[in-house]
Structure 1
Amino acid sequence: MEELIAKIWSFIGLFTLLQNILPPHLHKILMDWLFSVKDYFSPPHYHLEIPEFKDSHGVNANDLYDAVERYLDDVEGITRTRRLSVFRARNSSNLGFCPAFDEVVEDSFRGVRLWWTHSAQTEERNGGGGGDRNAVNERRRFTLKAENQDKDFICAYFDHITNRAAELNTLNKDLTLYTNAGDARWGEGWTGVPFKHPSTFASLALDPLLKSRILRDLDRFKKGREFYRRIGRSWKRGYLLHGPPGTGKSSLIAAIANYMRYDVYDMELTQVSDNTELRALLTQTREKSVIIIEDIDCSLNLGERVSNPPPGDQEEQKRSGITLSGLLNFTDGLWSCCGEERIILFTTNHKEMLDPALLRSGRMDMHILLSFCTFEAFKSLAFNYLQVEDHPLFAAVKEKMNSGAEMTSAEIIEVLINKVEEPSEALNDVICGLDAKIKVKEETLTVPPTSRQDVEEEAQNSKSRKCCRKGCSRKRRGKCRGCRRIESHVFD
């Protein structure tokens, strides 16, 4: 037995030496011979080749080849490979790795062992009448070796490779932020810039229970392809983010996009001329995307046009022709089924002003209230900005919040960021800010009757003033025609 072990080790040492000193073509001959010997003493195997097909522009047209290349970057066996090739996938700034030529990578699927080899064959071809008469053409391929299995196993294995490669491409791609800046009816609806927002769920100041609920819903949606097909619904999800200004709606949108690795389409409805252009914009969005319509309550007055706008009032002449039914069809109608894996996000500061038809399930599946900062969310902010997990002043902050003091996350962040190197002073400033909020709240509740009457009279008199936008002389009940906004503007 000892002699046998010694001979085995001697053979391994000789084989390692030959691998290091042999030139590449002899090394390949040696490897082919060893595999033929192994195949002779082992069960029969078959080989499948996945070649690279380049089109007239030199771009690979075999998607399966790209999927295998991406998949092998994630296979555990690649860590035991001596030589690797480095590549950069399209739409990604991250590096990927695949086995170098003639290197063998082992994989397993459903308990079956499989081996991948990456190889290349160079061919000389006549260049015709051009200057490059003897151009070299390189034909690359992946070869899969496995024990004899049925076709169902192979199909399932390649489905697994394709799905995993798609997940890796999504995780590694660079995100893009799009906005509608052109006429979508001519195919120029969106223009994009790199999306580099740093917001994540780890940095968000959200109540832990709410954060956990959102993450569970996103995970269920991401894995829901078969579920949505089975129940006969388009693979999309609608969210309504509502609450006071400064409570983190935009940060939550960025965190969702970063978590899902989806591109972002920020739609400005006031720039959309009519329902036809709205549908064109929808069809030009890609799968795995987040579509945002912010401040839906004051973006535009749906479906209403001014019959006789004042001369020279260009804003009134350009009133949007989008109707409520057009927007509903965009979110939950037939046109919403033109793509898969989309999240539609609406934001508003005044949920009560929205039409009930927008709020029903299927259009807004999940209503997320982002209210004033809670104590648990405050502790998250204190850790992110001050690197403080606990502090004696936390008790005072909690007491003030329980007493009814309300500050938004944006207000607390503004206080903390000015004293990031002095945690105690920063927390004292937060306590002072909460005290001021309580005082303002108490003064509001104790306004003298005469003062209340004065306030009401002032509000009534303001209706006779002109609109806050120059040139607007139209009258409309409850809304400003000039600026088309609902909040904090003087009405006709």
Structure 2
Amino acid sequence: MTMGDHMTQLGSVMASAMFIWAIFKQWFPEDLGNHIEKYFQRRVTYFYPYITITFHEHQGDEFERSQAYMAIERYLSTNSSNCAKRLKANVIKDCKSVSMDDYEEVIDEFKGIKMWWTSTKSIPQQRAIFSYHADDEKRYYKLTSHRKHRDIVVGDYVQHVLDEGNAIATKTRQRKLYTNSKSENWYGNKRTMWSHIMFEHPSTFDTLAMDPNKKKEILNDLLTFSKSKDYYKKVGKSWKRGYLLYGPPGTGKSSMIAAMANLLDYDIYDLELTSVNDNTDLRKLLIDTSSKSIIVIEDIDCSLDLTGQRKKKKEDKKPDQKDPIRKKEKDKNKKKTEVTLSGLLNFIDGLWSACGSERLIIFTTNHVEKLDPALIRRGRMDKHIEMSYCCFETFKVLAKNYLDLESHDLFATIDRMLEETRMTPADVAECLMPKSAEEDAESCLNELIKSLENAKEEARLKVVESEDNGGQKVQECDESSDSEDD
């Protein structure tokens, strides 16, 4: 006889008793009825041989799903769903999972003890007959076992299920790439200011085109951070770290961020500051990010007018009535966003920045000299990483990635030319990428040499042109001085 049969028989007995009790209450005073009811409930509890623990999908009026409920769902999907007769399928891209359908029961065993899990849902009575929405349903799992095993069930088994469920989540977790918008979105039962897609960028530290020594230094820094929870707590700091990636366009700043996310298995929050209305919304966005994540603000020198803010305040004291065009432009910029440098600094390391843990905050810029020193000081941007032009060591990584080459007769020529000419890794990679099936590795290397020669010539012509313009300006200044003397 199954647990369901036992419960059916007991339910029939209980229903009969409740029917008799309803008739009994009509003939006896209310106080006496209450005393008899309490006595009756104690007797039923005394003879009922099972204990039941309920895990609700939502706690109270919270929108977010219960962590315990989700852990149980993952545990049962992996360990016990093969016993269920009715399953629910959930397919997101290439990720497939099945779980118990509503009102389904499965049996689990722990240390020789049988546990019964039931998936149940309830619908509010006022909406059960009329129209109701799926969001009105309240789901929960019920765990039932013999009461003589109470200590094992409550003390060991429940924790075992939660730990296993969390471990499964870590193994099967899909990284996400988030972006913010001006309006709120709904995902499931949660309202959020972020929208997301699955993050599938292939960049890793093995394929990252960078000097090996510099790469190893960054790799060790990241791994040390990920294992330093107790250390950060000991020194009284929030478990977060700031990285400033700076350098010319095409030097691999975005690829570096993707490699960091793939190494640490973190989600990425790509924060677009121009879509944030004010400092309050910026704080809400921060609160809505998860732990184990990277918060990125790319091209921060272009995102907002946060460069030279303190100088600008002095200039703004001048009246704008004399220059209506300048005033109109300022009003237009003000309507776009009211995020301030102070608000951004509080976002990075203020009190609200401690609302989560295990986070990286990354700024990228092409012009580090334009940023306010307060924004990039140590403690906010803890590690500054220069993403520079392609060197020979970087080229060898790219040659291995794109051409599967570790050595070639042309490498010595390319080594010499890279010392004389500046070219970004992105431009080098474009030359090394075969454009047709007939193009071989040597053709790609020759194309790179030709591009380096052209870049060297262009740089030489710019120097000559600059010198000519400088001489011309000196001559104009001399002529101007002569005319003034006359």
Q: TM-score, normalised by structure 2?
A: 0.64
CA apart distance, 1:234 = 1.5
Q: For residues 301-340 of structure 1, what are the structure 2 equivalents within 5 Å? A: 301-302=305-306, 303=309, 304=312, 308=320, 311=324, 314-320=328-334, 321-340=338-357
Alpha-carbon distance, 1:183 to partner:
8.9
CA distance in structure 1 between the aligned counterparts of 2:108 and 2:474, rounded to whole angstroms: 82
Q: How many residues align?
A: 399
Structure-2 separation of matches of 1:248 and 1:281: 27
Match of 1:381 in 2: 398
Give the alignment partner of residue 455 of structure 2, picking from 437, 441, 444: 437
**Within the alignment, does 1:357 sit opposite 2:374 as a pair?**
yes
* Matching of residues 422-433 of structure 1 within 5 Å: 422=439, 423-433=441-451
Offset at 1:433?
Answer: 1.7
SS in 2 for 1:318: helix
The 8 Å contact of residues 358 and 364 in structure 1, kept in 2 or not, is answered as yes
Q: Is the 8 A contact 1:183 1:277 kept in 2?
A: no
In the TM superposition, 1:125-164 aligns within 5 A as 130=129, 157=160, 160-161=163-164, 163-164=166-167
Equivalents in 2 of 1:256, 1:175: separation in Å? 14
- Equivalent in the alignment of 1:10: none
SS in 1 for 2:301: coil
Q: Superposed, which structure 2 residues align to 1:264-343 within 5 Å?
A: 264-302=268-306, 303=309, 304=312, 308=320, 311=324, 314-320=328-334, 321-343=338-360
Residue 172, structure 1, aligned to residue 182, structure 2 = no
| Equivalence for 1:239 | 243
Kindly name which structure, 1 or 2, has the bigger radius of gyration based on alpha carbons: 2
Which structure carries more helix by proportion?
2
Hey, what's the Cα distance between the residues in 2 that align with 1:222 and 1:88? Answer: 34
Residue 423 (structure 2) pairs with residue 419 (structure 1)? no
Which of 193, 213, 220 is 1:190 aligned to?
193
What is the rounded CA distance, in whole Å, between the counterparts of 1:344 and 1:230 in structure 2?
Answer: 21
TM-aligned CA distance change 1:207 to 1:433, over 3 Å: same
Give distance in 2, aligned partners of 1:183 and 1:66: 24
1:225-280 Cα distance to aligned partner (Å, 9 max, x none):
34333332222221100011111112222333344444433333344454344334
Higher relative contact order, structure no. (Cα contacts within 8 Å, ≥ 6 residues apart): 2
Give how far 1:152 is off: 7.7
Seen in structure 2, the aligned counterparts of structure 1 residues 392 and 98 have a Cα distance that, compared at 3 Å, is farther
- The alpha-carbon distance between structure 1 residues 27 and 159, as it changes in their structure 2 partners (threshold 3 A), is closer
1:95-145 Cα deviation digits (max 9, x unpaired) = 246899757678xxxxxx7888664489999x99959xxxxx998556899
- Residue by residue over 1:256-310, the C-alpha shift from the partner in whole angstroms, topping out at 9 and shown as x without a partner, is 3344444433333344454344334333434333222222233333355755275
Report the equivalent of 2:422: 406
- Give SS of 1:437's match: helix
1:175 CA drift (Å): 1.1
Residue pair 1:297, 1:354 contacting (<8 A) in 2 also: yes
For 1:436 and 1:344, locate their aligned partners in 2 and report how far apart those are by CA, in whole Å. Answer: 39
5+ residue gaps in structure 1? 1-24, 30-46, 107-112, 132-136, 459-492
CA displacement, residues 418-445 of structure 1 (integer Å, 9 cap, x when unaligned): 5364222111111222223333445555
Tell me: CA distance 1:405–1:455, structure 2 relative to 1, closer, same or farther (3 Å): farther
Structure 2 residue runs of 5 or longer lacking an equivalent are 6-49, 131-137, 477-486
CA deviation after TM superposition for structure 1 residue 364, in Å: 0.5
User: Aligned-pair RMSD on alpha carbons?
Assistant: 5.0
Alpha carbons 2:51, 2:150 under 8 Å: kept: no
Give yes or no for contact 1:89–1:96 (8 Å, CA) kept in 2.
yes
Contact 1:181 1:189 in 2 (8 A): no
